[in-house]
Amino acid sequence: MINERIIASSFSALSHPLRVRIFGYLLTCQPRPVAFGVLSRELDIPASTLAHHLREMEAGQVVTRRAAGRRTLFAPDLAHLRGVLSDFLEICCAGDTQPVERKTR
């Protein structure tokens, strides 16, 4: 089971609208990884901004990076995310809990 710190890190890595946009683009390109330059050009994101967000996404393990000659390629880490979501649901849905009833005004 993945620990809660890793789960939080993975969710945090997608907690910015631009990161969600980057991740969504990477998903549409599956199964091929995408070069840094292509991401920058297609999403119209300055290189320094893109580099920052990709570092955050790598730290949260939601994307992978690999070198291919002079290019750097990125892809979503779907295996890690499946594990995170599975473990998150196991943590959240464990036991025999009842939903909390909200009071309406």
Strand stretches in the chain, DSSP E: 34-35, 63-68, 71-76
Domain residue spans in the chain?
A: 4-92
pLDDT, residue 104, reads 61
pLDDT in tens, the chain (105 residues): 678 888 899 999 999 999 999 999 999 999 999 999 999 999 999 999 999 999 999 999 999 999 999 999 999 999 999 999 888 888 877 764 555 455 665
pLDDT, residue 52, reads 97
pLDDT, residue 25, reads 97
For domain 4-92, the CATH class is mainly alpha
Tell whether pTM > 0.75: yes
* Whether 63 contacts 21, CB under 8 Å: no
User: 44 — alpha (psi -120 to 50), left (phi > 0) or beta?
Assistant: left
Q: ∠ at Cα 78 (76, 82), nearest 5°?
A: 145
